[in-house]
Amino acid sequence: MDQVDLIWQNGDFVRWEDAQVHVLSHGLHYGTGVFEGIRCYETERGPAIFRHRDHLARLERSASLYYLELPYSAEELRAATHELLRRNGLKSCYIRPLAFRGYGEMGLYAKSAPIEMIIAVWPWGAYLGDEGKRKGIRAKVSSWRRIGPGGLIPHAKASGQYLNSILAKTESANAGYEEAILLDERGFVCEGSGENIFVIRDGEVVTPPHVASILDGISRKSVIQIARDLGYTVVERDIARAELYLAEEVFLIGTAAELVPVREIDDHPLGEGKPGEITTHIQAKFEDALYGRAEEYLEWLDFVEAPAEVDAPSKVTP
Ligand SMILES: Cc1ncc(COP(=O)(O)O)c(C=O)c1O
């Protein structure tokens, strides 16, 4: 990881190496945490966080679904993130807020274990690589099925749930692929291990509906709007596994990975084995939105104001 100076922890700005937790923290044992993955981009008008309020609203929803009461409001977390970016002198980075049940009580009904929060920021390149974004990646349908609503909450971004994604990702990486695609219990397509999926069929942009066993991605929502604005027909429906192989184009999209074309699935080349026209068209507009180059999507950006001229006294804890 590219280390920076400070991490925000429970209201204080602490040095990166001092941001510690107790080994008996509840979240470490049972996965009782919720988090977000957000990105800040360097734009002409300064650093801007993409759909920051939407991410914080999802954090609040994830927390509430798992009965975790966040000790800070979304507005407090937003202000802390702005300050953290300023203090670390970052213009673009990945942002990871995390809330978890901390140290104080063990067992599964540990109501008295406090909820702790951190926000970490660090420079992080495209999750599936810049080359993947340009040339497309190879993906494999996982033998692991995506968690379903009968046992967990696909719509929550909760720490423990990621064991499912990790199994799928590990299997695909060990087999030499860049990403896994998970199906649901019925065998319909859900998403990548950390991205939503879009399939182009007969010129239409198709994606599983938001009620599928997927994380209702914020990039997914953005791309649905962008694709419609560009004049494409977007359809939310179940996607059969075979459609992955028959598709003209497929792409994955998420905050960490951004928009990544898929050029091969289970050794079936897609289209001409390189990113297709519709994918490239949508990708270009999406990147314009991220970097503040698209006037019509400027409202998605949360601009981080430059630091005040006079240095505030440092609140770093020793
Ligand atoms: C399982 C999963 N699906 C989809 C996404 C994409 O969501 P978003 O666009 O909000 O980052 C992510 C990333 O957060 C994810 O972890």
Q: Does the annotation count 169 as an active-site position?
A: no
Arithmetic mean of pLDDT over the chain? 95
Distance from residue 1's CA to the centre of ligand 1 (Å): 20
CA-to-CA separations, 243 to 59, 178, 198, in angstroms, rounded: 33, 20, 11
Confidence at residue 306, expressed as pLDDT on a 0 to 100 scale: 81
Query: Exposed/middle/buried for 177, CB within 10 Å: 0-12, 13-18, 19+?
Result: buried
Query: Could you identify the atom of ligand 1 that is nearest to the CA of residue 191?
Result: 3
> Quick one: tokens of 106?
């063990």
- 255-285 burial by CB neighbour count: b if 16+ within 10 A, else e? bbbbbbbbbbbeeeebbeeebbebbbebbeb
pLDDT tens for residues 85-116? 999 999 999 999 999 999 999 999 999 999 99
Confidence at residue 308, expressed as pLDDT on a 0 to 100 scale: 55
> Quick one: tokens of 37?
């993955």
Confidence at residue 19, expressed as pLDDT on a 0 to 100 scale: 98
- Active-site pick, 157, 221, 285, 315: 157
Which of 124, 157, 164, 252 gets mutated to test ligand 1 (max ligand atoms within 8 A of its CB)? 157
Cα distance between residue 262 and residue 244, in whole Å: 10
pLDDT band at 318 (very low <50, low <70, confident <90, very high): very low
Q: What is the DSSP letter of 18?
A: G
Cβ atoms of 298 and 292 closer than 8 Å: yes
Distance from residue 196's CA to the centre of ligand 1 (Å): 6
pLDDT tens for residues 122-168? 999 888 888 999 999 999 999 999 999 999 999 999 999 999 999 99
Q: Pairing state of beta strands 249-254 and 234-236? A: unpaired
Confidence at residue 56, expressed as pLDDT on a 0 to 100 scale: 98
- 89 in the Ramachandran plot: left (φ > 0), alpha (ψ -120 to 50) or beta? left
- Would the pLDDT of 310 be above 60? no
- Cα angle for residues 232, 237, 242 (degrees, 5° grid): 100
Residue closest to 166 by CA, chosen among 31, 287, 292, 61: 31
Residues with CB under 6 A from ligand 1: 37, 165, 191, 194-196, 215, 217-220, 254-255
More confident residue, 234 or 312: 234
What crossing angle do the helices spanning 218-229 and 52-65 adopt, rounded to 10°?
140
- Would the pLDDT of 314 be above 50? no
pLDDT tens for residues 258-297? 999 999 999 999 988 889 999 999 999 999 999 999 999 9
Which of 166, 196, 221, 290 gets mutated to test ligand 1 (max ligand atoms within 8 A of its CB)? 196
